[in-house]
Amino acid sequence: IGLGAYNALTWRMLAGVVVSGVPYALSRPRMPPNAVLKIHLVRGTVSAIMAFLFFWGLGRVPMAQAIALSFIAPIIALFLAALILKERITRATTIATAMAFAGVLVILWGQARAELGPQAFWGAIAILASAVFYAWNIILMRQQSLVAGAGEVAFFQTIIVTAVFLL
């Protein structure tokens, strides 16, 4: 806790580069095609932003509330899957999603009225933004899994997130 979320994330990712990099290097991989590298780069950047926003928000919002707000990610992922991956959404799913989203709005409404101060409100906004990036990350994971193996995905994910954090 004393180290801070940003530093803890950066050190974790640096360790991840070693843990994922050694087995990946031992597999003697070829350089992925540019289209695959682009997916790796986008997902790594999205993951870095997602993590930073979540932990920044968590420092300003009670943990239970942060977790509850982050539950909007699967809702967003559902619609992104329809938009990007052309998956079909049923009527029942749409109704259930609307009900879940109403719950998130109730949490935000309560947050805006609480006496936690403006930092808590901005923390809640950061958590919601993180959830949007997480939803996109879910779609990117699906796309990545179609074009790259697990070792490659793990290595590029950690090296790109690490690079973003170090910047």
- Rounded Cα distance between 63 and 150, Å, is 31
Give the model confidence (pLDDT) of 44-81 as tens digits. 999 999 999 998 998 888 888 888 888 889 888 988 99
- Rounded Cα distance between 13 and 104, Å, is 31
pTM to 2 decimal places: 0.83
In a 13 Å sphere around the CA of 149, the CA atoms on its Cβ side amount to 10
Q: What is the DSSP letter of 130?
A: H
How does DSSP assign 44-103, residue by residue? HHHHHHHHHHHHHHHTTS-HHHHHHHHTHHHHHHHHHHHHHS-----HHHHHHHHHHHHH
Please, what is the Cα angle at 67 between 66 and 71, to 5 degrees? 115
| Per-residue model confidence (pLDDT) at position 114 | 65
